[in-house]
Amino acid sequence: MATIRQLLSDKGSQVFAISAQASVYAAVASMAKHGVGALLVMKDESLVGIVSERDYARKVILLDRSSRTTAVSEIMTATVISIGPEQTVAQAMQLMTEHRIRHLPVMDAGRVIGVLSIGDLVKAVIGEQRFEIEQLQQYIAQG
């Protein structure tokens, strides 16, 4: 099973972030611009939270708040679940399933080195399964 580091080397390690003081409107605009469902909330080089489309829907829209006057810090998830680069894709899937999250920051020595989405992990698992199936088919054809 592939490690998170291997997955990031294939996917890339670009991280989209925003400050806790920014407006929710700016966060949603940034998510739309970059085609992502969540942003890391950073203070300098430190991860202080994560804000997602789900946070926006549940904590702004449903509560009839203004996205232009609400700060990211008011709706972000401050306790961030993360994973290390040497852990496996299976371990990442288990973390996401247990915690019911869709985005997983990758941390190495206290620094963010990437972010994985549930889609990234599903794609990796499907790729591994496809490879195994092809290997089995070749083995059967030779026998």
Query: Residue 133 has what pLDDT?
Result: 83
| Domains: count for the chain | 1
Query: Residue 129 has what pLDDT?
Result: 80
Query: Residue 17 has what pLDDT?
Result: 97
Query: Residue 107 has what pLDDT?
Result: 97
Q: What is the pLDDT along the chain (143 residues), one digit of tens a residue?
A: 789 999 999 888 899 999 999 999 999 999 999 999 999 999 999 999 999 999 999 999 989 999 999 999 999 999 999 999 999 999 999 999 999 999 999 999 999 999 999 999 999 888 888 878 888 888 888 86
For residue 52, give its domain range: 4-142
Query: Residue 143 has what pLDDT?
Result: 67
- Domain of 44, CATH number, reads 3.10.580.10
- Model-level pTM? 0.86
Query: Residue 135 has what pLDDT?
Result: 83
| Radius of gyration of the chain, Cα coordinates, nearest whole angstrom | 18
